[in-house]
């Protein structure tokens, strides 16, 4: 079985094979709170999370160097340490050293080396204006309770403030970077406009999802132009724009009963340039491969291969599908060592003879044990006297913090950490976390997809079916 290190090397090699250049980053953090600094950046890959990495901080406070692939003219990189964060934008050939005091992170971060003038501008923007990455994610949602006219006016004002900031602080920056920055803002605005109908309805429904969207909300969408351009394919807001544009426009057309949704979708997909079209199709196939029944997933992947024979994502889709096949109903569960926070040691295979509900987490235990704590306890208490074990595998980096969390919250079930090579997460967490499985008394997968705790009734029914 491949361990996570080999998987990381595979993904890194895959990304680097399709980028146009590289940037380098190393640095030093004074007073670090943990031993990890995380980098997240966007490529033309179908899944942004494939481009996230954690770097070890040594005792001296130094980290790196690390190579960042750059597709296109620039790449936006989110840098996180503990609860602190900032951004940099790097072009091919940039070679940066980061300097920061973690006690005053945003106020002290600065860069030296090739490309430092751009990096320091972006650091200043992070301090004074906030993260550019969040511009297309949160700006629009926060104000989506406004009327259509107020919303458009607010977005225009935000765009103006951003352009004023770069005008006031961008002296001496390369023209190509200024064009990149303004383009990022522009597509971020378009994404916010496209998201308005759904977000506005959600705000009116007290932040809960709803299918009741007023027709007048789609008037905001009318102002979004068709501006496809493969030059921006590695830019996250452009990716969101091309993924949402045809879908939202189709909903608007269908709601107004003027043109059919199917027709408008076909027209706008055919107008996409090749990389943008391939990206949209890749994202669609990725979702099918990840979550659809295996027969359907294989069929759709075969169709995709016939249409895009040289697509850069095919090898990754094959890997995802093969991972799913080894986790399919009737296949044996992967055995691993268990060491609980209170020191009990056992093998996962020791649980044979019992039904096992296995929940694989990536370290964000609060997503399950805080947000869904009542569901976890209710389901555990309902079945605790039956032949079933609830096992939780954590990707927590810090063992002491993990033990403190599990024991302090008195979490139900059997808890263990993954090994240093993340072999458990690599085998069981093939595309997302948390990843949940039902394993029968013979140690084989009992279902293809097990419901999570957030689908309480479905999960209870699934457990009952395997027990009986």
Q: Are residues 145 and 179 in the same domain?
A: yes
Q: DSSP secondary-structure letter at 467?
A: H
**Which residue, 128, 156, 183, sits at the end of a domain?**
128
Q: Are residues 121 and 84 in the same domain?
A: yes
- Residue 129 tokens, joined: 């204006």
Q: Are residues 264 and 277 in the same domain?
A: no
Q: Which residues contact 418 (CB under 8 A, 6 or more apart)?
A: 393, 394, 395, 424, 425
Q: Which tens digit of pLDDT belongs to each residue from 332-365?
A: 999 999 999 999 999 999 999 999 999 888 655 5
Q: Are residues 318 and 434 in the same domain?
A: no
Residue 231 lies inside a defined structural domain of this protein: yes
Q: DSSP secondary-structure letter at 398?
A: -
d(CA 258, CA 343): 66
**Domain range for residue 407?**
337-467
Q: Are residues 117 and 144 in the same domain?
A: no
Report the relative pairing of strands 388-394 and 355-360 from DSSP bridges. parallel
In this predicted model, which residue has the larger pLDDT, 403 or 388? 388
pLDDT at residue 156 is higher than 80 = yes
Q: Are residues 189 and 283 in the same domain?
A: no
Q: DSSP secondary-structure letter at 76?
A: E
Q: Are residues 242 and 281 in the same domain?
A: no
pLDDT at residue 416 is higher than 60 = yes
Q: Are residues 10 and 105 in the same domain?
A: yes
d(CA 112, CA 288): 44
Residue 332 lies inside a defined structural domain of this protein: no
- Confidence (pLDDT) at 234: 85
Q: Are residues 263 and 278 in the same domain?
A: no
**Which residue, 61, 93, 128, sits at the end of a domain?**
128
Number of domains in the chain: 4
Mean pLDDT for the stretch of residues 243-251: 83
Mean pLDDT for the stretch of residues 368-396: 82
Residue located via tokens 């979702």: 287
Q: Are residues 145 and 229 in the same domain?
A: yes
**Which residue, 128, 162, 181, sits at the end of a domain?**
128
Mean pLDDT for the stretch of residues 124-132: 91
Residue 317 lies inside a defined structural domain of this protein: yes
Residue 331 lies inside a defined structural domain of this protein: no
Residue 163 lies inside a defined structural domain of this protein: yes
Residue 141 lies inside a defined structural domain of this protein: yes
Q: Are residues 401 and 302 in the same domain?
A: no
Residue 259 lies inside a defined structural domain of this protein: yes
In this predicted model, which residue has the larger pLDDT, 321 or 254? 321
The CATH number of residue 434's host domain is 3.40.30.10
Model confidence at 8, pLDDT cuts 50, 70, 90, reads: very low
pLDDT at residue 229 is higher than 90 = yes
Evaluated on CA atoms 219, 222, 223, 224, the torsion sign reads positive
Q: Are residues 409 and 302 in the same domain?
A: no
């Amino acid at each position: 079985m491949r361990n996570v290190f080999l998987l990381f090397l595979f993904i890194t090699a895959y990304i680097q094979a399709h980028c146009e250049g590289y940037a380098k980053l190393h640095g030093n953090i004074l007073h670090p709170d943990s031993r990890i600094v995380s980098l997240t950046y966007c490529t033309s890959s179908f899944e942004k999370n494939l481009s996230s990495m954690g770097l070890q901080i040594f005792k001296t406070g130094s980290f790196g160097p690390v190579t960042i692939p750059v597709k296109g003219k620039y790449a936006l990189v989110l840098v996180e340490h503990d609860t602190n964060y900032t951004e940099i934008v790097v072009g091919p050939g940039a070679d940066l050293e980061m300097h920061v005091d973690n006690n005053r992170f945003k106020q002290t971060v600065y860069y030296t080396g090739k490309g430092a003038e751009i990096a320091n501008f972006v650091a200043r923007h992070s301090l004074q204006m906030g993260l550019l990455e969040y511009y297309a994610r949160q700006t629009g949602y926060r104000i989506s309770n406004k009327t259509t006219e107020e919303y458009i006016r607010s977005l225009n004002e935000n765009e103006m403030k951003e352009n004023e900031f770069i005008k006031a602080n961008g002296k001496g920056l390369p023209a190509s970077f200024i064009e990149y920055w303004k383009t990022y803002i522009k597509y971020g605005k378009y994404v916010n406009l496209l998201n308005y109908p759904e977000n506005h309805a959600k705000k009116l429904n007290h932040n809960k999802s709803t299918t009741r969207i007023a027709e007048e909300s789609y008037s905001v969408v009318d102002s979004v132009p068709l501006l496809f351009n493969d030059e921006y394919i590695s830019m996250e807001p452009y990716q969101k724009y091309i993924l949402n544009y045809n879908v939202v426009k189709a909903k608007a057309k269908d709601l107004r009963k003027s043109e059919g949704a199917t027709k408008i979708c076909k027209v706008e997909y055919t107008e996409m340039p090749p990389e943008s079209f391939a990206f949209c199709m890749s994202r669609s196939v990725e979702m099918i491969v990840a979550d659809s029944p295996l027969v359907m997933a294989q069929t759709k992947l075969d169709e995709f291969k016939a249409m895009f024979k040289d697509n850069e994502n095919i090898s990754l889709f094959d890997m995802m599908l093969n991972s799913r096949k080894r986790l399919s109903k009737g296949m044996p569960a992967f055995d691993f060592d268990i060491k609980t926070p209170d020191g009990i040691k056992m093998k996962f295979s020791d649980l044979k003879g019992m039904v096992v509900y296995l929940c694989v987490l990536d370290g964000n235990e609060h997503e399950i044990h805080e947000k869904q704590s009542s569901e976890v306890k209710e389901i555990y208490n309902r079945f605790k006297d039956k032949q079933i074990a609830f096992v939780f595998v954590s990707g927590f980096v810090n063992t002491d913090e993990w033990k403190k969390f599990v024991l302090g919250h008195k979490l139900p079930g059997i808890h263990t950490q993954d090994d240093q090579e993340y072999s458990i997460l690599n085998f069981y967490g093939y595309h997302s976390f948390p990843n949940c499985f039902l394993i029968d008394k013979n140690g084989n997968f009992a279902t293809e997809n097990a419901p999570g705790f957030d689908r309480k009734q479905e999960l209870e029914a699934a457990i009952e079916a395997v027990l009986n």
